[in-house]
Amino acid sequence: MSDTEIDPLRLDRMLCFAIYAAGHAFNRFYKPRLDALGLTYPQYLVLLVLWEQDGLSIKMLGERLILDSGTITPLVKRMETRGLMRRERDHEDERVVRVYLTEEGRALRQRALSIPLEVAGATDFDLDAIDQLRMALEQLREKLDAGPDDIAGPGER
């Protein structure tokens, strides 16, 4: 145990904790803004997806947000109760449930437009720095999700 050895379990040096804590900080930052819209953060994410493409199935929503049906199903049901969307079985395939925004759900988009600007203002990171950070995190996420030793490697095949 020399002085030059770095403790591998120091909280302050852990990337996972930095991500965990930054996620909470984002939540705290968003909360008052989303409260004004009557939304939680995951509900906001669902709307972001549906504003891009309405009528997605529960499964497609889950793939987009990387959440499973145990999370998405009650989440969407709460949003339906609040009148933001409507769930409807696909007549082509009765297994799939499609989610359609109501007028109220679509209307919220205008009120949400200011939020990214507030984030940019609060962090005052320049756009390049944000982009770089985001891409590093996406790369990290892919590697973590790739599993042990990248079963079907990207190189050869």
Partner DNA sequence: AAAATTTAGATTGCGCACAATTAAATTGTA
Partner DNA sequence: TACAATTTAATTGTGCGCAATCTAAATTTT
Can you give the three-state secondary structure of 85-107, one letter per residue? Answer: EEEEECCCCCCCEEEEECHHHHH
Q: Token pair 């007028």 is at which residue?
A: 103
Longest dimension (CA), the chain: 68
C-beta closer to its own copies: residue 81 or 151: 151
Tally the residues of the chain: 157
User: 3-state DSSP call for residue 53?
Assistant: coil
Residues that bind its own copies (CB under 8 A): 8-11, 13-26, 28-30, 41, 45, 48-49, 51-52, 64, 66-67, 109, 112-113, 116-117, 119, 122-125, 129-130, 133-134, 136-138, 140-141, 143-146, 148
What tokens does 127 get?
Answer: 């756009």
Asked whether position 105 contacts DNA by CB under 7 A, the answer is: no
Minimum CB separation from DNA for residue 43, in Å? 5
Query: Of residues 42, 100, 102, 119, which one binds DNA by CB under 7 A?
Result: 42
The interface partner of residue 93, options being its own copies, DNA, none and the CB cut-off 5 to 8 Å by kind, is DNA
